[in-house]
Structure 1
């Protein structure tokens, strides 16, 4: 595995510096490898190659770019198992979920971008006679997190290449295995030298160098809101475009009119909250429940949490795995303790590890009831298998509570009334609203309001983030 080298200008090269860090398996708390850490000098080298590559790659015909995406998609499918196994080892995704969801994102997003690029007009005429053309913005820096490694890499690398933008990827230094495999896929697919680079490293070193670099036209970042603010400030001096996909504290509104479907809606909601061990920016972590069905929902959620399996991510099944590392485990434990101290009613789970799992960073699926929206467990992104249940007297109060957050990435609604679903969705300040378990298809733009970021990833709008529009005026 090429974790001791970087991919720059079409080749695996030695880093400019000597820094390294261990690659850890969170299920065993054991070192499974070492990754090299880059420096600003490595970013300079990649940026020079990207600028040189842009001269030709930026002029590739759409048909050639589509064919490149098709080859990348085929390579991703061929190495799906390698990607899944890597993510299971480096961040603890259970292997079944790693195959069916985490690795699947690589091919799914490729399908979405191929369809979007085929449909996009890159030259059109206005009614006033002027002509508009879309052009690649130029070399881009891409910074991705550890919780959905290939999902986030594909959402950035694919639109960059689809639009003719050379790109430099800094994946999370904690999940280098899957990123290195993806770089191998791109190389085999024939991405031209300089049009893609992979540099491992920390945010303060490599991430900041990308954000500040004067030869990069944009930077796209996914991660915490705190880090996104830092990236934006670092990029300001070079007036580059900045797109951000940041944190969330997504509300899930449950109404009594679900009728006979109530139990399944609640069980599915708990499962969605705990998916990826709760380490998803759009997880529905605030269950806001109409008073008329509140007690019933709390009991269903308690049983669903206690029925949630936790175990070895290398084993097949629908269980959840460990948290990502000790730091994340400590944070989740601290937030569970905070919930207890704040007076929320603990109805399932709690501090510590599940019974029988004494090694690795496993957490107990936890549910709090009687939570008020001013409690820290209702306001802070916990990033673990922790659900907060909040009562609401009626629809108006449920909407008020849902919108009372600094975030606006996603929202969820459970109702048996189609008119209510439309009415409530229109009032929720979030980039995506999921009604009765509805999922997001490949090619649908993903992004949020408020402190959850700006820009959109996926599909047509995901392409547009990497493009400029030029107007032509003929006499």
Structure 2
């Protein structure tokens, strides 16, 4: 059987992607294009414009003008709320179309695109949730501290022009997590989707325009991050950068932001642990849940997947057996096939990277339980890699410390609760964690002791109203909830005298 995306492309009516600048769709000034190669079939499925430096400048200038002179920042809360809710409704109406475009982008199966946290529905809920903050986030009045009779008040005002830079792996949710609070706060945006997930994002932007977002409020520049993203983060007209991606790029963004003191929100990945105690309610289910994050949907290409399992010795072999069973159930192929549950790695470079980590794991003496190789035969045209489990992994090794971003699980044994917490926190990251136990006291102790932004007990999920982000080198700031909304505002203090003298 040969995997082909061309029929799906034609059925969806995919057209060449363009830039959006000041409300007009157009090609780049340098007439360059990016050819998207599908990760499952190796076929060229579409093209889109590559923005030049002058295009980025035009997009930022349009966003700047829309913020400084336009109606969006000054729009009454009722109007902005209505537009955001209307957009959420449009997302739900076009959910099937968007899932199909995502499958053409990154090969995430339709079967997985309906799971809540990666679904269009979750993105719509994020917009609905943040629409609710538009008329609730404000300042306060404070009593005078000294001097004459006066009013001391604080206000929250939109931060300005936002550069929103998306990764490829979860375009629906991450689009929403960045644009919903930015637009709700009254900011304008220059959006750069990943070159590996552009078509679904362009359609989401078209729906924003249909919902009533004015020209210039959202602009889109497409193309590779090394050129387009670089021009965007260095542009002096940008007030804030919101980025989800690698730690290396995040560090570079922090350095680039220093020149203009740009505000920065970063989500930079992790090496999240799943801690499985012997008293877990169901060790087999814990193993399936943990390995499922590495075999289903994104095949481990997610920032918060639990790619490091810390398992108490009494149930170590039981856990390995359950994880192996989950790995054996992974299915691959055409992402439009409802029986396909997992996707390939996004490109050949990532395939080589994951292979390198597996090779390193073998060199470091970890025991390869299953997988560890590229899938061939009918899958040879794509970047498919077998679900991989390593046992007896040293927690200080490369395999346990580095973010592999692929279907590779490192299983580390432990004896005591204290050792489990020490091993879990022995990492440069700190994005998420899951604790599997039947002991409520232990669950509470562990959740407070873990240095991670989100901790699940006997399961892990994300919700639109909860803040999400990491400790340590997993990022700066939070996405979701009131914290995210306020991150797109600046606080201003106003002193208003009620007499001739203020002080």
TM bin, normalised by shorter chain, reads over 0.9
SS in 1 for 2:219: strand
Q: How far apart are residue 3 of structure 1 and its match?
A: 4.0
Aligned with 2:452 (options 408, 413, 430) = 430
Q: Tell me which moved more, 342-351 or 303-312.
A: 303-312
Distance 1:392 1:473, change over 3 A: same
SS in 1 for 2:389: strand
Which residue does the alignment assign to 1:316? 338
Deviations 1:206-239 (A, max 9, x none): 2122211111111111110001111111121111
Aligned with 2:113 (options 74, 89, 98) = 98
Which residue does the alignment assign to 1:338? 360
Aligned with 1:266 (options 266, 281, 287) = 287
Q: What CA distance in whole angstroms lies between the structure 1 residues aligned with 2:227 and 2:327?
A: 40
Q: Does 1:79 align with 2:100?
A: no
Q: How far apart are residue 103 of structure 1 and its match?
A: 2.6
Q: What CA distance in whole angstroms lies between the structure 2 residues aligned with 1:18 and 1:62?
A: 40
Aligned with 2:410 (options 378, 381, 388) = 388
Q: How far apart are residue 121 of structure 1 and its match?
A: 3.1
Q: How far apart are residue 38 of structure 1 and its match?
A: 0.7
Q: What CA distance in whole angstroms lies between the structure 2 residues aligned with 1:173 and 1:62?
A: 34
Which residue does the alignment assign to 2:5? none
Deviations 1:332-377 (A, max 9, x none): 1221122122111111212121664332111111111100112211
Q: Does 1:121 align with 2:143?
A: no
Q: Does 1:52 align with 2:69?
A: no
Q: What CA distance in whole angstroms lies between the structure 2 residues aligned with 1:313 and 1:139?
A: 37
**Equivalent residues in 2 for 1:42-441, closer than 5 Å:** 42-54=55-67, 55=69, 56-100=71-115, 101-118=118-135, 120-126=136-142, 130-259=152-281, 261-275=282-296, 276-317=298-339, 319-353=341-375, 356-441=378-463
Q: Does 1:37 align with 2:59?
A: no
Q: How far apart are residue 318 of structure 1 and its match?
A: 6.0
Q: Does 1:445 align with 2:467?
A: yes
CA contact (8 A) 1:23 1:31 kept: yes
Which residue does the alignment assign to 2:148? none
Q: What CA distance in whole angstroms lies between the structure 2 residues aligned with 1:387 and 1:108?
A: 31
Q: What CA distance in whole angstroms lies between the structure 1 residues aligned with 2:42 and 2:82?
A: 42
Q: What CA distance in whole angstroms lies between the structure 2 residues aligned with 1:110 and 1:44?
A: 28
CA RMSD, Structure 1 to Structure 2 (Å): 1.6
SS in 2 for 1:315: coil
SS in 2 for 1:473: strand
Q: Tell me which moved more, 392-401 or 291-300.
A: 291-300
Q: What CA distance in whole angstroms lies between the structure 2 residues aligned with 1:202 and 1:188?
A: 27
Q: What CA distance in whole angstroms lies between the structure 2 residues aligned with 1:249 and 1:308?
A: 22
Q: What CA distance in whole angstroms lies between the structure 2 residues aligned with 1:199 and 1:220?
A: 15
Q: Tell me which moved more, 425-434 or 347-356.
A: 347-356
SS in 2 for 1:451: helix
TM, length-normalised to structure 1: 0.96
Q: What CA distance in whole angstroms lies between the structure 2 residues aligned with 1:186 and 1:270?
A: 36
Deviations 1:309-332 (A, max 9, x none): 333211113621211111111211
Deviations 1:388-447 (A, max 9, x none): 100011111111111111111111111111111110011111111011114222221111
CA contact (8 A) 1:65 1:163 kept: no
Q: What CA distance in whole angstroms lies between the structure 2 residues aligned with 1:115 and 1:4?
A: 32
Q: What CA distance in whole angstroms lies between the structure 2 residues aligned with 1:277 and 1:196?
A: 32
Size of the alignment, in residue pairs?
473
Q: What CA distance in whole angstroms lies between the structure 2 residues aligned with 1:121 and 1:226?
A: 33
Deviations 1:264-311 (A, max 9, x none): 122112112334111001010000011222122122212221223333
Which residue does the alignment assign to 1:23? 36
Q: How far apart are residue 127 of structure 1 and its match?
A: 5.2
SS in 2 for 1:296: helix
Which residue does the alignment assign to 1:459? 481
Q: Which runs of 5+ in 1 are unaligned?
A: none
